[in-house]
Amino acid sequence: MGSPIEELDETIVGFRAATQRPAYRQRLLQDLDYAGGISSLRLMRTVERLSGDGPGPSIRQVATELGVEHSTASRSVDTLVRAYLLSRSRCADDQRQVRLQLTEQGRSSLRATTRRRQEVLAALVEAWDPDDVHTLTRLLDRLRGEFDAEFGHR
């Protein structure tokens, strides 16, 4: 056994790898009417989260949030606009800025995949004590908060 930090680091790396496995991705998208991949879903979730009650986010905001280059985010946005999952509109305050919004089809696809992801999670922790699930959630949120404080808020 390593130190607690070595164990935490190994667990985080292993968890991230587990959520990137093709079988997991296929389970999330299985039987859903959605042509995009996991990266498209991440982009749509980011647009949804950054939209709140105001105008949608800019491509730059989405790129920053996802930790990708502006050009990468822009190409992904183009793909989602062509698939009618996102729409673009000019910012009222600055016509150079483009704001992104989920379309109804995009919201529907995102809801369906979110339900599927939650079903998968529920099945994985079905035998767990509810207090353990709560503790894990609380501690992961606390760790994410530390990352946000150190490296930028999501």
- Which pLDDT value is given to residue 52? 82
Residues in the chain: 154
Instruction: Specify the pLDDT at position 118.
Output: 95
- 3-state SS class at 98: strand
CB 57 within 8 A of CB 64: no
Contact indicator for 86, 77 with CB cutoff of 8 Å: yes
Helix, strand, or coil (residue 7): helix
Model-level pTM greater than 0.85? no
What mean pLDDT do residues 89-96 have? 72
- What's the whole-number mean pLDDT along residues 46-58? 89
DSSP state of 89: E
Residue 46: CB atoms within 10 A of its CB come to 20
- Rounded to the nearest 10°, the torsion over CA 14, 17, 19, 24 is -120
Confidence check: pLDDT of 132 > 60? yes
List pLDDT tens digits, range 60-74.
Answer: 999 998 989 999 999
- What pLDDT score does 95 carry? 64
Q: Which of these ranges, 69-73, 90-94, 139-143, has the smallest mean pLDDT?
A: 90-94
pLDDT band at 32 (very low <50, low <70, confident <90, very high): confident
